[in-house]
Amino acid sequence: MPGALTIPIERITDPVVRRIAEKVGKGERLTQADGVAMFESRDLTGIGALADAVNRAKHGDVVTFASNQHINPTNICTLRTTCVFCGYARLPKEDGAYRYTLDQIMAEARQAKDSMTREFHIVGGLDMQAGLEYYTNMFRAIKAELPHVHIKALTAVEIAHIARIEKKSWEEVLTALREAGLDTMPGGGAETFSAAVREEIARKKLGAGDYVGVHRTAHKLGIRTNTTMLYGHVETYADRMEHLQMLRDLQDETGGFLAYIPLAYHPDDNELGKKLGRTGIATSGTDDLKNLAIGRLFLDNVEHIKSHWIMVSPFLSQIALHYGVNDLEGTVVREKIYHAVGAQTPQGMTLEALLKLIRGAGKIPKERDSFYKVVREFDETPTTGDKAA
């Protein structure tokens, strides 16, 4: 259960992190410089212990997850050649390009009928043929057949794309989508906000100000959203903190973010990976854990920090439950975007495997809905770790 915040000062060896811990203890907000100092510090366990203390004060030992199914309606994308980190997108006539018809979407969606899926996570490319009607028809059809499934769909970048091709405002597009069944929005498309980084990895993508602007518009309409940061490519620690500052500022203004999910860059099968000469896993376990822990500490106004096990492996996500994380990307059915860039993880996880992972960390698993309301508790008391054979 949530409780008082106790700063684990004795577990922190780096004096710089100790000073940051004292600020946290006094309820003072961290600065971007504090964040950079933590990224530079070698005291991973100290930073983790601090993030864990803050997380426990908010969520106790409870770790939530949702049962969701990914649907990627089209991989055709006008930014295919300029988002150099992306391995998923295709040009319209390129091999492997696809755009699902409504029937194909419904065939995928119907898999949720006899399953525990409560959420569809629907994102795709910036396809000139996928305008407002394509998505409003899709959402209406899904809600007509599967009214109990929540629709978390379309990144800020996709919203802005639809608005541009339809010559409508973001507000008009979001309002029409909501009327058709959109419930919340995912956090993709943020990448790293720094203009210099964007110029290098996503030259033509919606800029930081507009990403924030679309989310602000959604929040003002009452549409809650998630947010992300892509890390581990060409960005600096200062870039990461500038990014988190923009997210914290918007959250101060609107309170509309549900969760923050740092996304570890994967270098396979994309131009950027080739340019950087990297393959396999680009980030390190240390950096993955720091991104989660620093997200927890700096984003003091965002309730939920989610680890995306598909990107960082189930085992690292399990350890992350002691580094400030209170939520795991859920059972997930058929993930495609990261598997296009070399993710070696499974494309989904069974409920049993997820429960084992959470319990193995000594935590209490609870299934949640898309607004983080607990919808299912599980009987057994958690173990404090794995049993020897």
Q: Annotated binding residues, as ranges? A: 77, 83, 85-86, 191
Annotated binding site for S-adenosyl-L-methionine: 85, 191
Residue 377 Cα to chain centre, angstroms: 24
Structure token digits, residue 328: 């795991």
Question: What is the rounded distance in angstroms from the CA atom of residue 389 to the CA atom of residue 387?
Answer: 6
Minimum distance from residue 187 beta carbon to ligand SF4 (Å): 13
Quick count: other Cβ atoms within 10 Å of Cβ 32? 17
Residue 19 Cα to chain centre, angstroms: 30
Minimum distance from residue 171 beta carbon to ligand V47 (Å): 21
Partner whose binding site includes residue 20, from ligand SF4, ligand V47, none (CB under 5 to 8 Å by kind): none
Question: What is the rounded distance in angstroms from the CA atom of residue 383 to the CA atom of residue 386?
Answer: 7
Residues within window 36-65 making contact with ligand V47, judged by CB under 6 A? none
Q: Which of 72, 192, 228, 331 binds ligand V47 (CB under 6 A)?
A: 228
Provide the mask over 327-366, with x wherever binding to ligand SF4 is found by CB under 6 A and - wherever it is not.
----------------------------------------
Question: What is the rounded distance in angstroms from the CA atom of residue 219 to the CA atom of residue 381?
Answer: 38
Per CB under 6 A, does 160 bind ligand SF4? no
User: Tokens 């376990």 belong to which residue?
Assistant: 285
Spatial contact of 331 and 65, defined as CB atoms under 8 Å apart: yes
Minimum distance from residue 128 beta carbon to ligand SF4 (Å): 12
> Which of 228/331 has CB closer to ligand V47?
228
3-state secondary structure of 44: helix
Give the residue closest to ligand V47 by C-beta. 188
| DSSP conformational letter for 90 | B
Q: Where do the DSSP E strands lie in 8-132?
A: 62-65, 68-71, 119-122
Nearest to 72 by CA among 148, 129, 119, 123: 123
Size of the site for ligand V47 (CB under 6 A): 20
Q: Where do the DSSP E strands lie in 279-348?
A: 304-307, 327-328
Residues within window 67-86 making contact with ligand SF4, judged by CB under 6 A? 77, 79-80, 83, 86
Annotated binding site for [4Fe-4S] cluster: 77, 83, 86
Partner whose binding site includes residue 266, from ligand SF4, ligand V47, none (CB under 5 to 8 Å by kind): ligand V47
Segment interacting with ligand V47, rule: CB under 6 A, options 5-13, 17-25, 185-193, 374-382: 185-193
Question: What is the rounded distance in angstroms from the CA atom of residue 383 to the CA atom of residue 389?
Answer: 15
Q: Which of 56, 198, 240, 266 binds ligand V47 (CB under 6 A)?
A: 266
Nearest to 261 by CA among 235, 292, 301: 292
Per CB under 6 A, does 270 bind ligand V47? yes
Nearest to 118 by CA among 308, 371, 380: 371
Structure token digits, residue 124: 């795709």
Q: Which of 37, 230, 244, 354 binds ligand V47 (CB under 6 A)?
A: 230
Q: Where do the DSSP E strands lie in the chain?
A: 62-65, 68-71, 119-122, 150-153, 225-231, 257-264, 304-307, 327-328, 364-368, 374-377
> Which of 63/201 has CB closer to ligand SF4?
201
Partner whose binding site includes residue 187, from ligand V47, ligand SF4, none (CB under 5 to 8 Å by kind): ligand V47
Per CB under 6 A, does 261 bind ligand V47? yes
Partner whose binding site includes residue 263, from ligand SF4, ligand V47, none (CB under 5 to 8 Å by kind): ligand V47
Q: Which of 124, 125, 188, 330 binds ligand V47 (CB under 6 A)?
A: 188
Q: Which of 44, 201, 337, 357 binds ligand V47 (CB under 6 A)?
A: 337
Provide the mask over 68-107, with x wherever binding to ligand V47 is found by CB under 6 A and - wherever it is not.
-----------------xxx--------------------
Structure token digits, residue 57: 């004060």
Minimum distance from residue 230 beta carbon to ligand V47 (Å): 4
For every residue of 112-132, DSSP letters joined together read GTTS---EEEE-----TT--H
Nearest to 191 by CA among 290, 272, 72: 272
**Interface with ligand SF4 by CB under 6 A: which residues?**
77, 79-80, 83, 86, 88-89, 125-126, 157, 205
Residues at the interface with ligand V47 (CB under 6 A): 85-87, 186-189, 191, 226, 228, 230, 261, 263, 265-266, 270, 308, 329, 337, 341
